[in-house]
């Protein structure tokens, strides 16, 4: 199914060319708090960040921690409103932006000049996707002697050491310098010393794919890590974009202006010109170190495993740089808040492939993608099972969704009471459960019997029709809407 190319929603917020502009916007709105009391980088800062997030609290700036003197920024995307603002949107503009993402996956060509002119906003967005190359950049205004000059948190008591938690890792495949081939990924980075760190990229991620091209060539791989990038670059690195869409380019669409890049000092890579800090270095073939354990988004510590080592060759920074950090743990955490917004962005993409889907919810408490509740317009027997299989096979991130619950259009899928009622009254365990075995799974899921392989279960909690049942189905009880409205009006007068 093809979709008409949609223009991006009009920008209602100012441009945020760097992290500082976003922080200034938040502070002007009373959404940034400066913490002057001493806070330890080991474990205590984690507690403060999570407490603020659970209260829908502001961005935090720690000025008196017990590490190197750089200020630490935390809880940047701790609310849905701030994630939307990082995308350049108001919260109610998120669905329209999801339509743009869907059109990028399956665009249709313009039909004549009039149609082309009607798409000018989209053409302008595409123009913004082309990066601008600078000769001098703020991120190269100063330098740091080593990683020990960074106030890196040790988030959890069982962690294996200091952990860089918001790095935007830039890589490219061996043999290509095309900016469109760059990959931006947010990968965990464990600090081993002043000039060495471990990059934890899983085999299916873009950075690992690039690493394999350099390994086959027997050459060291250049890597750059942007710390404290602007919000558009941060979220573009985390968005589930189509493989053909460059994160560098797409960040220009989010930002509303072209991404500015500058040549790195010691590696053959272009790096974000307005980041707070850039760490440059090399990953040599076969050089690994045991990474972890670290607390993860599942709420458990992951196992110690070998991952590539990056040898740091330079650290450039802005004058008076800021250090951006976050915490990953059992939801709610900052990644789960971002995930809720990305859930809404993904819905138009899903509906383009599975038109009967009316809504989809990835409950944050279930580590977001581990469970999906889907609301459909049901028309024929077996439709719920078809939706389950289509969802598991459509996008890579849904290959890790191990529980899918399908309900009818009259259910509120964000209401656990509705979900429980549908399961209790519309699902028979012997007939309406589909179980499949040995499918891809996040190897951090300790419930899976084998690393990377696990079962999946689909629960059909829809009303059964046609050949799905031999019984007459019950009629759902409902009051006359006029009577319900009259009751509300009476109670409003009594209880005012």
Cis peptide before 293 (omega within 30 of 0): yes
Show the tokens assigned to 46: 């984690």
The Cα 373–Cα 358 span in angstroms is 11
| Cα angle: 318, vertex 152, 17; to 5 degrees | 35
The Cα 322–Cα 61 span in angstroms is 9
What letter would DSSP give residue 354? Answer: S
**Residue 126 pLDDT:** 56
The Cα 9–Cα 198 span in angstroms is 39
* Pair 407, 390: CB distance under 8 Å: no
Residue 40, CA distances (Å) to 37, 155, 162, 293, 325 in order: 10, 10, 12, 20, 14
Q: At 219, is the secondary structure helix, strand, or coil?
A: coil
Q: Which of 18, 159, 296, 333 is catalytic?
A: 296
Residue 458 phi/psi, 5-degree rounding, is -120, 130
- Active-site residue 296, yes or no? yes
CATH class of 19-324: mainly beta
**Residue 6 pLDDT:** 42
**Strand boundaries in 4-137, DSSP class E:** 32-35, 59-62, 72-74, 132-134
Task: Tell me the domain boundaries of the chain.
Answer: 19-324, 354-468
The Cα 169–Cα 181 span in angstroms is 14
* Residue 63 Ramachandran class (φ > 0 left, ψ -120 to 50 alpha, else beta): alpha
What letter would DSSP give residue 394? Answer: H
Residue 462 phi/psi, 5-degree rounding, is -95, 165
pTM given for the model: 0.87
Name the CATH superfamily, with its identifier, for domain 354-468: UbiD C-terminal domain-like (3.40.1670.10)
Averaged over successive runs of 10 residues, the pLDDT of the chain (496 residues) comes to 42 89 97 96 96 96 94 97 92 83 61 55 59 95 97 96 97 94 94 97 88 97 98 89 78 87 98 98 97 92 94 98 96 92 85 91 88 96 96 83 96 96 96 94 82 93 94 89 92 83
> Which residues, in sequence order, are CB contacts of 455 under 8 Å at separation 6+?
402, 435, 436, 437, 438, 439, 448
The distance of Cα 197 from the centroid of its chain, to the nearest Å, equals 23
Half-sphere exposure at residue 158, Cβ-oriented, CA atoms within 13 angstroms? 11
């Amino acid at each position: 199914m093809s979709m008409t190319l949609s223009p991006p929603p009009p920008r209602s917020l100012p441009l945020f060319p760097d992290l500082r502009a976003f922080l200034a916007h938040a502070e002007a709105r009373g959404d940034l708090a400066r913490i002057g009391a001493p806070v330890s980088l080991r474990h205590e800062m984690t507690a403060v960040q999570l407490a603020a997030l659970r209260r829908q609290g502001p961005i935090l700036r720690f000025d008196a921690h017990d590490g190197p003197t750089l200020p630490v920024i935390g809880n940047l995307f701790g609310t849905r409103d701030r994630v939307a603002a990082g995308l350049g949107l108001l919260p109610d503009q998120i669905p329209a932006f999801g339509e743009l993402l869907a059109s990028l996956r399956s665009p249709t060509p313009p039909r004549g000049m009039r149609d082309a002119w009607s798409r000018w906003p989209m053409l302008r967005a595409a123009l913004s996707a082309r990066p601008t190359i600078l000769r001098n950049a703020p991120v190269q205004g100063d330098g740091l002697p080593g990683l020990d000059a960074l106030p890196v948190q040790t988030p959890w008591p069982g962690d294996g050491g200091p952990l860089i938690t918001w790095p935007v890792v830039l890589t490219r495949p061996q043999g290509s310098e095309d900016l469109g081939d760059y990959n931006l990924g947010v990968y965990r980075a464990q600090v081993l010393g002043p000039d060495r760190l471990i990059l934890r990229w899983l085999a299916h991620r873009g950075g690992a794919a690039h690493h394999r091209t350099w390994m086959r060539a027997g050459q060291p791989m250049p890597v750059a890590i942007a710390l404290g990038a602007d919000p558009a670059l941060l979220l573009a690195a985390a968005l589930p974009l189509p493989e053909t869409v460059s994160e560098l380019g797409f960040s220009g669409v989010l930002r509303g202006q072209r991404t500015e890049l500058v040549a790195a000092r010691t590696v053959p890579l272009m790096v974000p010109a307005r980041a707070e800090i850039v760490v440059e270095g090399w990953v040599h073939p076969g050089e690994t170190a045991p990474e972890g354990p670290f607390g993860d988004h599942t709420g458990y510590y992951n196992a110690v495993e070998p991952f590539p080592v990056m040898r740091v060759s330079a650290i450039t920074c802005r004058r008076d740089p800021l250090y951006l950090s976050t915490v990953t743990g059992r939801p709610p955490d900052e990644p789960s808040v971002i995930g809720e917004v990305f859930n809404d962005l993904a819905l138009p993409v899903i509906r383009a492939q599975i038109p009967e889907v009316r809504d989809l919810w990835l409950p944050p408490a279930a580590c977001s993608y581990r469970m999906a509740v889907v609301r459909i317009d049901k028309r024929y027997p077996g439709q719920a099972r078809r939706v389950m299989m289509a969802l598991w096979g459509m996008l890579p991130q849904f290959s890790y969704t191990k529980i899918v619950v399908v309900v009818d259009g009259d259910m509120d899928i964000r209401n656990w009471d509705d979900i429980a009622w549908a399961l209790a009254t519309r699902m028979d365990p012997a007939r309406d459960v589909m179980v499949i075995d040995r499918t891809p799974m996040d190897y951090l899921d300790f419930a899976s019997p084998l690393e990377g392989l696990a079962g999946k279960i689909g629960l059909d909690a829809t009303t059964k029709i046609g050949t799905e049942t031999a019984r007459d189905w019950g009629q759902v009880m409902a009051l006359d809407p006029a009577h319900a409205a009259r009751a509300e009006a009476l109670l409003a007068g009594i209880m005012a």
